[in-house]
Amino acid sequence: MPGPAEPSLAERRALLRQALAIVSGSRRLIRGKIARGFSTKTKADESLVTDADLAAERFLRRELSRRFPDHGIIGEEFAPANAGSDFLWTIDPIDGTLSFARGIPLYGTILALHHRGRPVLGVIDHPSLGECYSAARGLGAALNGRRIRLQDLGPGEKVEREVVATGDRMHFLKCGRARDFDRLMRRHPQVRSYADCFGHTLAARGAVGAMVDFGIRLWDMAASQVLIEEAGGRYACLLSPPPGDLGQGFYGIVCGKPAVVDWLLPLFGRTKR
């Protein structure tokens, strides 16, 4: 029996509207936690989790299940639900918990929807910055509802003048790519770590030339392809686990302005398109 068909443009628009409504709720919840205080614990893998992470994921799951009872949900903090569904939501309630726990405003909530592995929509919300990035396939990308479109380098513009953002070196190390990180640092003069989804949204609006992120999980990057491509950028996945990954495997991606992504790909063993 075939599953549900790919959503139409009108359906994608409606799904995005719902996703944005849900994320405005998680933003309120997270801001409330900041105002009232939250507790922090260290997980088995030595990463941090706060009760704001848990409460936000519970909220997002509850809202998604209520609105889309047939859809699957994968999230960072709880077990997958209905993961065999054609429609699969991924949740990172607080990407950048280390930042969040220290009061650094550069964390974000990531929500994405895929249909049979193909991205339908993606939302990255930065509650403390008041910036919500969203995109759905064929509908463009937006920041707080206003269309964003990133500008590729012009003829005279040099890749060396663009900032290349990266995730933390320790994440490259985790998936055996520390050497790639070190090579990038030597080859490009303007590499800055903009950890977590903040680097992805900087790339989506062209504030940096590109973002290079390795050693991340499904929910860390699930929104980025549609966000970057709908903004007019280029997205390349350079490392991915075998099909069927539900958050166990590591990904590596490069995304941003086409000319900068093309310059970066050979450093990571890929030829330009």
Within 15-54, the residues that bind its own copies by CB under 8 A are: none
Given 60, 159, 202, 221, the residue binding its own copies (CB under 8 A): 202
Q: Which stretch binds its own copies (CB under 8 A): 6-14, 81-89, 134-142, 202-210?
A: 202-210
Kindly state the smallest distance separating residue 208's Cβ from its own copies, in Å. Answer: 7
DSSP code per residue over 152-168:
PP-TT--GGGSPEEE--
Residue 182 makes contact with its own copies by CB under 8 A: yes
Kindly state the smallest distance separating residue 257's Cβ from its own copies, in Å. Answer: 12
Residue 192 makes contact with its own copies by CB under 8 A: yes
The C-alpha torsion from 242 through 94 and 172 to 251, rounded to 10°, is 20
Annotate 198-251 with three-state secondary structure. HHHHHHHCCCCCEEEEEEECHHHHCCHHHHHHHCCCEEEEEECCCCCCCCCCCE
Given 13, 58, 169, 187, the residue binding its own copies (CB under 8 A): 169
Kindly state the smallest distance separating residue 161's Cβ from its own copies, in Å. Answer: 8
Binding residue count for its own copies, defined by CB under 8 A: 24
DSSP code per residue over 91-133:
EEEEE-HHHHHHT-TT-EEEEEEEETTEEEEEEEEETTTTEEE
Residues that bind its own copies (CB under 8 A): 98, 102-105, 129, 163, 168-170, 173, 182, 185, 189-193, 195, 202, 205-208
